[in-house]
Structure 1
Amino acid sequence: MRKAVQTLPRITLRQLAVFVSIYQTGSTSRASEELHLSQSAVSSALTELEARLQMPLFERVGRRLNQHPNAYPIYIQAQAILGQALSLEYYHKHQAGQIHIGASTTIGNYVLPPLLAKLYDIQPKANVDLYIANTQEVVTEVEQLNIDIALVEGMPRPADSKVIEQRAWRTDTLMVFAKRDSRWLNGLAEYDAIDDCYRLSITQLAKLPLLVRETGSGTRQIIDEQLLQYMPDADVVMAIQQSEAIKHMVSADIGLGCLSQHAIHAELANGNLVQVKVAGIDLARTWWLIWHKSRHQSPIWQTFIDIITEV
């Protein structure tokens, strides 16, 4: 008589979801909170997945879980599978016009609104869920398949390219700026009446108080890479999460600011703020269109792509 071969149960989506949550949060307790499961159910699901794969995914050190080298390739595959399952689950909602759009702060506040207006013109019943945050926060949401498509100001990290597609979208220029009659420029900067701007050297700028965006924002990434690296002793007096707050503080003459040309366009036009050109410094940058490689590309997704890539 042939001996029956014992087989292990199939891998389930729940096991993969538990594993991904543990991988991202670093613990079974935080995963249980995120997934609204008991901690014992989370631990059991992880144990079952490791048994089915016949490999460890985490190393238990006391109460801590340290990622095993096996974990990362499984994490990438698990994300793709869960993304495909999510796409299938919400397929009809996408067909009906649902889309989750992400945007970093400058794009979301100053550039995206007219693009959304075009989308509503084409699809009046479009159901748009909008998430605006700094670049790194938006990239994280794309990684976790919470956003269909995003427009960001900073280039995603090299590691993100394993799960994220990225395409150069537009170019933008950051501007250093000040209050029109700023005390910081008085007697220091040369005023150019033709271009309506002040001119400073990098050495002069380094002596002035500078208000910048927070670490993690696309604007700050460019400031770090293309401005502050030449000013190791610069007087950066404040890192601020909101561009509007920076503009108000510069208007109060607390210091100089550095933001996208789109963020200060109105204030430059009405003369409340003035551009400060820094000799030898180029603050041009690329904006990026990003999405998860496993994300379902619905008809409304393609419509939005067509709108934002129009020449």
Structure 2
Amino acid sequence: MHITLRQLEVFCEVLKSGSTTQASQGMSLSQSAVSAALADLEGQLGVQLFDRVGKRLVVNEHGRLLYPRALALLEQAMEIEQLFREDNGALRVYASSTIGNYLLPGMIAGWRRDYPDLPLELSVGNSQDVINAVADFRVDIGLIEGPCHRPDLISEPWLEDELVVFAAPDADIFNQPVTLDTLASATWILREKGSGTREIVDYLLLSHLPQFRLALELGNSEAIKHAVRHGMGISCLSRRVIEEPLALGTLREVAIPLPELNRTLYRIHHRQKHLSRPLLRFLSYCIE
């Protein structure tokens, strides 16, 4: 069965006007086109939808059964057209944890104020989870904390971020000059493998240490902050993540004998993914 919306539209117009002549005028179609569409619809259904009374077409029991359903389908089709005529669209965004938990909420707030009715599905995971989801087309775009090396994905620099080594205010590391040796002998609490933060910490910081003592790997920055605050070790996270406890004095920054630990946050999408106007509009809010 291949019923078309045009056939249903013709049927509803004929029912309202009572003739193919008036229906053709209302739809700016020829009478023969209207008659052909109605005949095709009746042929598809295998029933007559109208009784022919002189030159008038009077809807019968079959037509009355079809009419509300035809109207509902046509109204849904109009809703779909209107949805995209207004350039709307449901967005699927996947962000690594630092971005999703600490950067995006403030950015999304402005977008939500301007577009309160547009649906947004935001997922948060580690960078490798984001990369996999983008590669599988499960999301429209990903925001990650380190570079992406997959050739099927486009990776674009997005924001700059600073990493900070920190400890509890009364940690032993503050009782002596901080050197690479003292950093190496400290007990470290780090993000898990696959995290963008961990990849950058390994590259920018830990690669300079002759060795290091790894006490815990945690998949959550909040858990790391609490563990460090309770004296379980030192760690390295984005300044955005720990700026509040640093200001309150519940955590303390460790000045390290290395250049600033700066990194670039990236925006990724599949090479074959079309970046729609709603998506680009959303991304225009994701700036500092």
Q: 1:188 corresponds to which residue?
A: 176
CA distance 1:180–1:98, shift in 2 (3 Å): same
Normalised TM-score (structure 2): 0.68
Deviations 1:40-62 (A, max 9, x none): xxxxxxxxxxxxxxxxxxxxxxx
- Hey, what's the Cα distance between the residues in 1 that align with 2:117 and 2:244? 32
Q: 1:49 corresponds to which residue?
A: none
| AA in 2 matched with 1:221 | E
Question: Which ranges in structure 1 are unaligned for 5 or more consecutive residues?
Answer: 1-90, 190-199
- Hey, what's the Cα distance between the residues in 1 that align with 2:261 and 2:272? 34
- Hey, what's the Cα distance between the residues in 2 that align with 1:125 and 1:201? 53
- Hey, what's the Cα distance between the residues in 1 that align with 2:84 and 2:129? 28
- Hey, what's the Cα distance between the residues in 2 that align with 1:258 and 1:302? 33
- Hey, what's the Cα distance between the residues in 1 that align with 2:203 and 2:97? 19
3-state DSSP of counterpart to 1:263: helix
Kindly indicate whether residue 129 of structure 2 is the aligned counterpart of residue 137 of structure 1.
yes
Shift in Å at residue 92 of structure 1?
5.3
Shift in Å at residue 280 of structure 1?
2.1
Shift in Å at residue 281 of structure 1?
3.9
Deviations 1:250-291 (A, max 9, x none): 011001111000110110011100100110243110000111
- Hey, what's the Cα distance between the residues in 2 that align with 1:179 and 1:236? 17
| AA in 2 matched with 1:150 | G
When Rg is computed on C-alpha atoms for both structures, the one with the higher figure is 2
| AA in 1 matched with 2:244 | A
Normalised TM-score (structure 1): 0.63
- Hey, what's the Cα distance between the residues in 1 that align with 2:268 and 2:208? 30
Q: 2:264 corresponds to which residue?
A: 286
* Aligned partner of 1:176 among 141, 165, 169: 165
Q: Are 2:108 and 2:286, in contact at CA under 8 Å, matched by a contact in 1?
A: no
- Hey, what's the Cα distance between the residues in 2 that align with 1:92 and 1:140? 29
Shift in Å at residue 234 of structure 1?
0.7
Q: 1:152 corresponds to which residue?
A: 144
Q: 2:8 corresponds to which residue?
A: none
Q: 2:154 corresponds to which residue?
A: 165
Q: Are 1:226 and 1:282, in contact at CA under 8 Å, matched by a contact in 2?
A: no
Question: Which ranges in structure 2 are unaligned for 5 or more consecutive residues?
Answer: 1-82
- Hey, what's the Cα distance between the residues in 1 that align with 2:132 and 2:280? 22
CA distance 1:141–1:166, shift in 2 (3 Å): same
Q: Are 1:222 and 1:285, in contact at CA under 8 Å, matched by a contact in 2?
A: yes
CA distance 1:94–1:172, shift in 2 (3 Å): farther
Q: Are 1:176 and 1:259, in contact at CA under 8 Å, matched by a contact in 2?
A: yes
- Hey, what's the Cα distance between the residues in 2 that align with 1:285 and 1:94? 38
Q: 1:213 corresponds to which residue?
A: 191
* Aligned partner of 2:96 among 86, 90, 104: 104
Q: Are 2:96 and 2:145, in contact at CA under 8 Å, matched by a contact in 1?
A: yes
| AA in 2 matched with 1:188 | Q
RMSD, aligned α-carbons: 1.9
Q: Are 1:154 and 1:222, in contact at CA under 8 Å, matched by a contact in 2?
A: yes
Q: 1:127 corresponds to which residue?
A: 119
Shift in Å at residue 96 of structure 1?
3.3
- Hey, what's the Cα distance between the residues in 2 that align with 1:117 and 1:124? 10
